[in-house]
Amino acid sequence: MKDNLTETRRSFIRKAAAGSIALSWLGARQAPRAFAAEAAKPALLGGTPVHQGGWTKWPQWREDWESEMLKVWRSGRWFRGSAGHVSDFEHGYANLLGAKRCLATASGTTALIVSLHVMDVDAGDEVIVSPYTFIATYNAILDRKALPVFADTDPATLTVDPASIESRITERTRAIMPVHIFGMPCDMDPINAIARQHKLAVVEDACQAWLAEYKGRKCGTIGDLGCFSFQESKHLPSGEGGAITGMSDELIDKCDSFHNCGRAVGTNKGSGSFTRGNNYRMTQAQAVLLMQQFDKLVKETEIRRANADHLTANLGKIPGITPLRLPENSRPAWHLYAFRYDAAQCNGLSRDKFARAVSAEGVPCGSIYHEQYFDGVLDEAIASRGFKRLWGAERLKAYRDSFQELKGNQQVCATTVAITQNMLLGDRSSTDDIIEAIRKVQANSAALAKG
């Protein structure tokens, strides 16, 4: 499996979807399966794969969306300022989340860039962020000419460990950016408390967390601003697209202005702009496609949750497999279903070979994010003229050295295995296949480790 972040996640979905038959919805439940994993020869060693069918295709298209899509294209009113669909989407998405306001953007990345600008993250500032995320999170901070300072990852949850944040605060820290990775809500109460105490902004990267909940509130409405992605692999997809949500009119109005070339809110005048700004607008067709999927998103979120709960209840009984711990009173969105793998309890079978063996059973899975702060993007940034001007050599060296201290994240990158969200949309029988494939590989781990 390629160890390449979202490429991996997105190519997972493509592979799982390619040529597969859409599976029936969870409604058609079947009797619980008796597992007999130990008896069977692993598919990687020439046995028969546990799962024979395909997985739910993603993204999905519904014929009954076509007339609304055609209407918007035939209207010739495609740009945000030419019609009301983008505003309608914003009201609808805010309602779904219980947010006061929403602003649609061109992508999740641009939602992050706009939010950081509005929270006054400026050149030479520092933003404390989770290292376990898609590279766009780092890049949005670098785009502001600010330094992404990594807090550590809690191996039990895969999200930022709140206890690791405070020691990273310096006089330049301006914001904290928790990432609800894989749709797992971060523990927001201690994060918000630290932010309040140190007068820092909180921008939630909720790009994988549509409808995820923490203590009765939806992710993306708990910090100052929340950012979402509607890229093709996402639960609410429109090819590209994004949104910023929040509870403050003032902040969302500032986002609106900045994302629309600095124009005054609600205006489309070609000149007379009064603030800095760029074009990060969503198109009308994206908005129409997204609005038609609201009910589907709500229904599928419940299906993913039911199947994920079934996985958690059963995978936890398999030696070497540890499901994730959720924050108290929270409900994930399950963009990926991840668990931790302990090779020591599986006869030393390496994590990557374990994932290959489970994939050979017809259950595609992989390792997802690696320690990408060693990949060069940050080295390139801190070697640039601008960053050298903004920080002294000593600070940049200490910054680079600090990557070695991310012990929790190192452990997470070395031991996590995940399956993609579309695989949580099948019936109970296909979810049982996931359990059986993992159980079978674990039971045969000695032979697999040798073979």
Ligand X SMILES: Cc1ncc(COP(=O)(O)O)c(C=O)c1O
Chain residues in the site for ligand X (CB under 6 A) = 6, 107-109, 133-134, 136-137, 179, 205, 207-208, 229, 231, 242
Residue closest to 299 by CA, chosen among 12, 84, 27: 27
Identity of the residue, 42 or 178, whose beta carbon is nearer to ligand X in the bound complex: 178
CB of 244 to ligand X, least distance (A): 12
The strand ranges marked E within 283-415 are 321-323, 330-331, 336-341
Q: How far is the CB of 40 from ligand X (least distance, A)?
A: 36
Q: How far is the CB of 34 from ligand X (least distance, A)?
A: 38
In terms of phi and psi (left: phi > 0; alpha: psi -120 to 50; beta: otherwise), the region of 107 is: beta
Q: Write the secondary structure of 259-293 as one string of H (helix), E (strand) and C (coil).
A: HECCCCCCCCCCCCCCCCCCECCCCHHHHHHHHCC
Smallest distance, Å, CB 107 to ligand X? 4
- Compare residues 6 and 260 and give the one whose CB is closer to ligand X: 6
Nearer to ligand X, 219 or 423 (CB): 219
Minimum Å gap between C-beta 298 and ligand X is 21
Name the minimum Å distance from CB 240 to ligand X.
6
How far is residue 230's CA from residue 222's CA, in Å, rounded to a whole number?
A: 20
Q: Which of 334, 367, 96 is nearest to 235 (CA)?
A: 334
- Judged by beta carbon, residue 6 or residue 430, the one nearer ligand X is 6
Token pair 């405070």 is found at: 166
Residue number, nearest CB to ligand X? 108
Judged by CB, which is closer to ligand X: 242, or 320? Answer: 242
Q: List, in sequence order, every beta strand (DSSP E) within 54-196.
A: 101-105, 126-129, 147-150, 173-177
Q: Shortest Cβ distance from residue 182 to ligand X (Å)?
A: 9
Q: Encoding tokens for residue 398? A: 């200490």
Is the separation of the CB atoms in 55 and 423 below 8 Å? yes
Rank residues 114 and 315 by Cβ distance to ligand X and give the closer one. Answer: 114
Tokens of 37: 């994993």
**Closer to ligand X by Cβ: residue 107 or 430:** 107
Distances (CA, A) of 85 to 78, 103, 235, 432: 10, 12, 20, 41
CA-closest candidate to residue 52, choices 23, 12, 28: 23
Task: Give least dist CB 335 to ligand X, A.
Answer: 8
State the CB neighbour count (10 A cutoff) for residue 318: 19
To which residue do tokens 């198109």 refer?
A: 283
Q: Considering beta carbons, is residue 85 or 235 the nearer one to ligand X?
A: 235
Name which of 107 and 409 has its Cβ closer to ligand X.
107
Cβ 37 to ligand X shortest distance, Å = 33
Contact 141, 120 (CB under 8 A): no
d(C-alpha 301, C-alpha 309), whole Å: 12
